[in-house]
Amino acid sequence: MPDVRRIAERYELLEQVSHGGMGDVWRGYDAVLDRPVAVKLIRPQAVTSPVLAEEFEKRFRREARITARIQHPGVPQVYDAVLDESYEQLFLVMELVDGVPLTAYVHPERPLPVGWAVAVAAQVATVLSYAHDVPIVHRDLKPSNVLVARDGTVKVLDFGIAAILRTDVTKLTATGSPIGTHQYMAPEQVRGSRVTPRTDLYALGCVLHELLCGQPLFSGDSEFQLMMQHVNAAPPPLRQLRADVPEQLEALVLHLLRKAPEARPADVQEVYERLLPFLPGPGDESAPETAVPAGAPDPTGVFRRPYAPRSRAGGAGERPAADAPAPAAPVAVPEAEREELRERIREVHAHYRALMEEERYAQAAEVAGEMIEPAARALGSDNKVVLGLRMRRAVSRQLAGDHRAALPEFEALADAYARVNGPGSHEALDSRAQAARCRGELGQVTEALAGLRGVLEVVRAVDGDVSENAVELRRDIGMLLLAQGRAADAFDVLEPLHADLCVVFGPDDELAAEVAETLAMIRLDLDGARPDSTAPRRQ
């Protein structure tokens, strides 16, 4: 396996995702639970002595534990908190969210639809209501800390980070470079006064204002000037910047942006109630306006279809059919680069094998998957090396229990191998069989049976009834019939299979014994319905 940085003998840092004033975010991996994680490396600013380090560690762990108490799907789970022995870096290990920050959607020339912006704000308000009940004040709410996931749900990041680092103690008279995000900082934060839940309401007003008009509330040439504006300047009314904003929504934003905390809405629940008239109702199937960036998620969906089930396979919201490259010819690559690519592929194979031996299947799938696109670009998407990488990813996804992801991969591989090696090739048939097994695991038993029987018909014609593949297929077909409640049909498949296994491998063979146990249970279930089959078979 390649050298990677590991913390707490458990979390591997794989790729830096973002860099900010409070620290860096890495895509990481939990080697114990075989799952991807986000690791936030935080650089404390004031740890200058062992005494301060000890105090900082206590504060860090206390705040991390409090943050972990926010029980809401809009808050990424905190899995672990680690402070290194030097006290120079601390790490928050969290749920890895597949989403895009609001900053990606804010543009002064392309205002977001009012419904889209309000739906995001309403979801943030819901999250804040759970946090304020703990109570936790976010202190650094801003567009870059709000992600919109692929399904339109909103995730609020970095709860407790500002409290851990005490970033709300910056005053106008402070010297040096202050810590914090001044474009969203409430007047009481700037002054260094006590923060309350209404501090987050001011920041929410800043965020909603920016979503609706495409630019920050205030702009200045310096951080000091920005802070002064938050303390003294009147916010520009939204309808002067964008005429189609409803009057009541403008009034709410101006209420959120009042200078005195006590002059703002009483709580975040009031804010949510005032946003409701601008949200779609349950059952409303209207799509968001066309001004939403192409491919952007729809945050109104959670209100239009609350507690909706997962989309059906192949429907909206599912991942692409196989997440794999379409057939394409290779791009001309210099020999030196091709040799470098071969070496990278060898390293990936070695890394993959090591992870599989450790039963870290989900990570093994990622490792193989990262190499597919560059290999396909250089070698062609139907090259055997590329197909091998895709097969590795599919197998490891299947072993990780992610049958929903493995199914389209195996189906695409079956088509690719049929093109390259022929529909009756071992690779094409194996891919078809694995796809059918995935369908069985997903409860699509009828489709799974049809797939396995189709493969068995070809295997029988080529290799006979007791080849390794045929035996496994016959066993799987019998078990699927049993899962459907078709005990008699399962018996008709498994009884001759058991007889064949006993003849070829002997009654003590592991699979023969397994099938014998299943037959014994079926006999009990049939309860005399088949008297000719209930007597013990003579081997």
Per-residue pLDDT tens over the stretch 42-51: 765 555 566 6
Predicted confidence band at 283 (pLDDT cuts at 50, 70, 90)? confident
Please name which of 477, 464, 467 lies closest in space to residue 437, comparing C-alpha atoms: 477
pLDDT of residue 178: 40
pLDDT of residue 328: 57
Report all structural domains of the chain as residue ranges with CATH numbers, in order of start: 5-95 (3.30.200.20), 99-304 (1.10.510.10), 322-442 (1.25.40.10)
Least confident of 52-56, 299-303, 380-384: 52-56
pLDDT of residue 177: 38
pTM: 0.67
Is a pLDDT exceeding 80 seen at residue 325? Answer: no
Which strands, in side-by-side order, build the sheet including 23-30? 5-7, 11-19, 23-30, 35-42, 90-95, 78-83
Is a pLDDT exceeding 50 seen at residue 128? Answer: yes
pLDDT of residue 98: 85
Between 256 and 507, whose confidence is greater? 256
HSE (side-chain half, CA atoms, 13 Å) at 294: 0
Is a pLDDT exceeding 70 seen at residue 19? Answer: yes
d(C-alpha 279, C-alpha 304), whole Å: 9
State how far the alpha carbon of 149 is from the alpha carbons of 120, 223, 437, in Å. 11, 31, 30
* DSSP SS3 for 92: strand
d(C-alpha 253, C-alpha 144), whole Å: 20
Residue 34 falls in the annotated catalytic set: no
Between 83 and 259, whose confidence is greater? 259
Strands (E) located in 277-337: none
pLDDT of residue 334: 72
Most confident of the ranges 20-29, 255-264, 321-330: 255-264
HSE (side-chain half, CA atoms, 13 Å) at 1: 18
Asked if 54 and 35 count as a contact pair (C-beta separation under 8 A), the reply is no
What integer is the mean pLDDT of 84-98?
Answer: 78
For the four alpha carbons of 431, 432, 438 and 441, in that order, the dihedral sign comes to: negative
pLDDT of residue 275: 97
Q: Is 297 left (phi over 0), alpha (psi -120 to 50) or beta?
A: beta
For the four alpha carbons of 502, 441, 529 and 457, in that order, the dihedral sign comes to: negative
The token pair at 418 is 């049929």
Per annotation, catalytic residue among 30, 140, 158, 200? 140
Predicted confidence band at 40 (pLDDT cuts at 50, 70, 90)? confident
The token pair at 458 is 């070809």
pLDDT of residue 448: 94
Is a pLDDT exceeding 80 seen at residue 505? Answer: yes
pLDDT of residue 260: 95
Per-residue pLDDT tens over the stretch 57-70: 676 777 677 777 88
Per-residue pLDDT tens over the stretch 166-203: 544 444 434 333 444 788 999 999 888 888 999 999 99
| Pairing mode, strands 11-19 and 35-42 | unpaired
Is a pLDDT exceeding 60 seen at residue 318? Answer: no
d(C-alpha 79, C-alpha 36), whole Å: 11
Per-residue pLDDT tens over the stretch 335-352: 778 788 989 999 999 999
Is a pLDDT exceeding 70 seen at residue 408? Answer: yes
**How high is the mean pLDDT of the chain?**
85
